[in-house]
A and B are shown apart, each in its own frame.
Chain A
Amino acid sequence: MTDWDVGAAFEVVQQHRQKGGLLGALHGLLDAFGYVDPRAIPMVADVFNLTRAEVTGVVSFYKDFRTTPPGRHVLKLCRAEACQAVGCETVAQELETRLGVGADATTADDAVTVETVYCLGNCALGPAALVDGKLYGRVDAPSLLARLGR
């Protein structure tokens, strides 16, 4: 992942210039920069021949398209029913205590962003979490914190 760069962003968005390609373009920005920088919106609107309001509407509709840079690690903790049945809420609480931030926030030192997801398809081995894109099963707070280097 790299820092925001208009030229690079334009390259990414251009590759998705096709019918229905807007989500792909936003995913491309997410992959390249870790977030969708609001500065990209006018350019995206231009490429797809949409208004800025339309693009903003799409960005805000989908949870994936965070608009601020994430921390160095991203932890997505499943909070859906099958994981609730095996204690994901306790895991979430312990993480909050230890990291000092709740769901969908980044720690003050920019080290960790914690996000809520509803189901990772690992519901027989919950609680489940994605840490930097890697899936873990039967997690607890200490094991997750260890993976985050805490």
Chain B
Amino acid sequence: MSAARIFVPADAAALSVGAHEVARAVRAEVERRELDVELVRTGSRGLFWLEPLVELEAPEGRIGFGSLTPDDVPALFDDEVHPKALGRVEELPWLARQERVTFARCGVIDPLDLEDYERHGGLGGLRRALELTPAEIVEAVTESGLRGRGGAGFPAGIKWRTAAATEADARYVVCNADEGDSGTFADRMLMEGDPFLLIEGMVIAGIAIGARQGVIYLRSEYPHAHRKLARALALARAEGLLGASVLGSGQAFDIELRLGAGAYICGEETSLLESLEGKRGQVRAKPPLPAIAGLFGRPTIVHNVLTLAAVPTILAGGAEFYRAFGTGRSRGTMPIQLAGNVRHGGLIELPFGLTLREIVEDYGGGTRTGRPVRAVQVGGPLGAYWPEALFDTPLDYEAFAERGGMVGHGGVVVFDDTVDLARQARFAFQFCAEESCGKCTPCRIGTLRGAETIDRIIQGERVAANLALVEDLCEVLRDGSLCALGGLTPVPVESAIRHFPEDFERAATREAVHGEAIG
């Protein structure tokens, strides 16, 4: 009989609240009791408030225990019911209501065990792709309705067709793993919890567009993901998933892992390409599109981690299978990341269409501080601040765009009623100023003026006039920016002013009082 198995995550978030210490305690206890137990280090299931979440294999399924400290470990092996037992993990309501497609294996398998990956359905997409012509692969991805998960939501199939159709001596598949948006961690979780899925997706993309080389551009703020990916790539090479003949097909494909260096703008695809070429990450003017002239001038498809990770599912299950999830022009599942001041934060993978209220209240369970929710910011630092009154908006590309926001990479950040939206608006300007690539004056300099102007508003200085100045500045940013960093900074600023005028007027009231005193 094989040994019983116990699963302890090695995901960075789980480690940040003590998963290694728990794993060490498990090992010690297993030794002390001389048990025949195998310890498996997994990724995270994404129920972060329960981390470290330990799972024990039982006849009825995997039983969860969380959140554990090393002191809770010995009792795991006693006969009595553990005080932190949660029951079957898959039946936890938070997880049971989700549809895990891209994240089906994350937190379940050993991320560095290729056999485990295959046992759980891995490599099915690539095997199918190897039976198709490149054009048929591109067709399947187009048919699936897959849109980029990095923020812009551009149809993936169109990029692939363009790159494949452009004559060149080399083509590249570039994975954008720069995940710079605050409130997002799905790319990180996937790279740490199921790296072979990303690798499989990149190989399929390479075969489809006729590329022999892939590159992953990973942000340096993710040291854990860096180690996992490096090991997964080495294993993939050793097992013939990468190299001169992918799975013995005669087709060559390999992947290089590169590190960013702490620049948010390098998530923008052309800046990323400059950075990969060893330069300052300055945004390039488009055209030419990267699909025509990208890395070192060659046709390049740049995709977010989650876009590439959806590809194996599309090939294995068929375009129709993937299309069946979602609504309207938002097809497939969307990994939503619930973060900030929230009781139950983590990863929610569901077809598009969940409302903000369902996300924040049903999944999130309100704020961690127990105070009322006042605002959520969706879609990272360039996303809108939403008030309670708009919480019934469904999360899909079009519904969000209609109301002046964006889904972006799917980050939802919750704030309680102590938040000051004037300060958040100021931060949006400051962030843009700090992270600007420097090409456009409004983005580089205008945002500094923006932050100073909001400071004056906060001081109660000529509030109405200064608000008008901010509006003008936003106009200039929208019109005078080459990329979305400058172009979308007005979104958080103006949504804060529009939906939370009281935070700016509070200052105005101070001005009135001040004015009277002088007058």
| A, B in one complex | yes
Task: Name A residues whose Cβ lies closer than 8 Å to a Cβ of B.
Answer: 19-24, 26-27, 48, 57-58, 61-65, 76, 80-86, 117-126, 128, 130, 133-138
> Is the Cβ of A125 less than 8 Å from the Cβ of B13?
yes
> Is the Cβ of A61 less than 8 Å from the Cβ of B280?
yes
Distance, CA A14 to CA B345, complexed state (A): 45
The 3 closest A-B pairs by CB, nearest first: A124-B345, A22-B278, A80-B182
> Is the Cβ of A123 less than 8 Å from the Cβ of B184?
yes
A125 is contacted by which of B51, B222, B223, B279 (Cβ under 8 Å)?
A: B51
Distance, CA A84 to CA B431, complexed state (A): 13
Q: Which of B185-241 contact A (CB under 8 A)?
A: 185, 187-188, 220-225
Given contacts A23-B275, A121-B221, A125-B345, contact A83 B182 (CB under 8 A): yes
Residues of B within 8 A of A121 (CB): 12-13, 179, 184-185, 187-188, 221-222, 225
B223 is contacted by which of A26, A126, A133 (Cβ under 8 Å)?
A: A133
A118 is contacted by which of B182, B280, B339 (Cβ under 8 Å)?
A: B182
> Is the Cβ of B222 less than 8 Å from the Cβ of A24?
no
Distance, CA A122 to CA B424, complexed state (A): 20
> Is the Cβ of B262 less than 8 Å from the Cβ of A62?
yes
Nearest residue in B to A62 (C-beta to C-beta)? Answer: B261
A-B contact pairs, 12 of them (CB 8 A): A62-B263, A82-B183, A84-B424, A85-B419, A118-B180, A119-B180, A121-B185, A124-B185, A125-B16, A135-B223, A137-B16, A138-B17
Distance, CA A20 to CA B257, complexed state (A): 12
Nearest residue in B to A123 (C-beta to C-beta)? Answer: B339
Residues of A within 8 A of B180 (CB): 118-119
- Greatest chain A CB density within 10 A among B188, B262, B427 is at B262
- Residue B368 at the chain A interface, CB threshold 8 Å: yes
Looking at B154-162, B408-416, B461-469, the stretch in contact with chain A turns out to be B408-416
> Is the Cβ of B182 less than 8 Å from the Cβ of A119?
yes
> Is the Cβ of B342 less than 8 Å from the Cβ of A124?
yes
Nearest residue in B to A66 (C-beta to C-beta)? Answer: B262
A103 to chain B, nearest CB (A): 11
Q: Which of B227-268 contact A (CB under 8 A)?
A: 258-264
Residues of A within 8 A of B431 (CB): 118
Residues of B within 8 A of A137 (CB): 13, 16-17
Task: Name B residues whose Cβ lies closer than 8 Å to a Cβ of A.
Answer: 12-13, 15-17, 48-49, 51, 179-185, 187-188, 220-225, 258-264, 275-281, 296, 337-342, 345-346, 368-369, 377, 381, 411, 413-416, 419, 424, 427, 431, 435
Distance, CA A119 to CA B263, complexed state (A): 11
> Is the Cβ of A64 less than 8 Å from the Cβ of B278?
no
Nearest residue in A to B222 (C-beta to C-beta)? Answer: A121
A50 to chain B, nearest CB (A): 9
> Is the Cβ of B182 less than 8 Å from the Cβ of A24?
no
> Is the Cβ of B339 less than 8 Å from the Cβ of A82?
yes
A81 is contacted by which of B13, B183, B337 (Cβ under 8 Å)?
A: B183
Residues of B within 8 A of A130 (CB): 221, 223
Given contacts A80-B182, A118-B264, contact A124 B337 (CB under 8 A): yes
Distance, CA A136 to CA B424, complexed state (A): 24
> Is the Cβ of B221 less than 8 Å from the Cβ of A82?
no
A21 is contacted by which of B49, B278, B339, B424 (Cβ under 8 Å)?
A: B278
> Is the Cβ of B17 less than 8 Å from the Cβ of A125?
yes
Residues of A within 8 A of B261 (CB): 23, 26-27, 62-65
Distance, CA A84 to CA B183, complexed state (A): 11
A135 is contacted by which of B15, B182, B275, B381 (Cβ under 8 Å)?
A: B15
Residues of B within 8 A of A128 (CB): 16
Distance, CA A114 to CA B259, complexed state (A): 22
> Is the Cβ of B221 less than 8 Å from the Cβ of A124?
no
A27 is contacted by which of B16, B183, B221, B259 (Cβ under 8 Å)?
A: B259
> Is the Cβ of A82 less than 8 Å from the Cβ of B182?
yes
Residues of A within 8 A of B17 (CB): 125, 137-138
Residues of A within 8 A of B187 (CB): 121
Nearest residue in B to A136 (C-beta to C-beta)? Answer: B16
Residues of B within 8 A of A80 (CB): 182-183, 381
> Is the Cβ of B224 less than 8 Å from the Cβ of A86?
no
> Is the Cβ of A61 less than 8 Å from the Cβ of B263?
yes
Residues of A within 8 A of B415 (CB): 85
- Greatest chain A CB density within 10 A among B183, B224, B260 is at B183
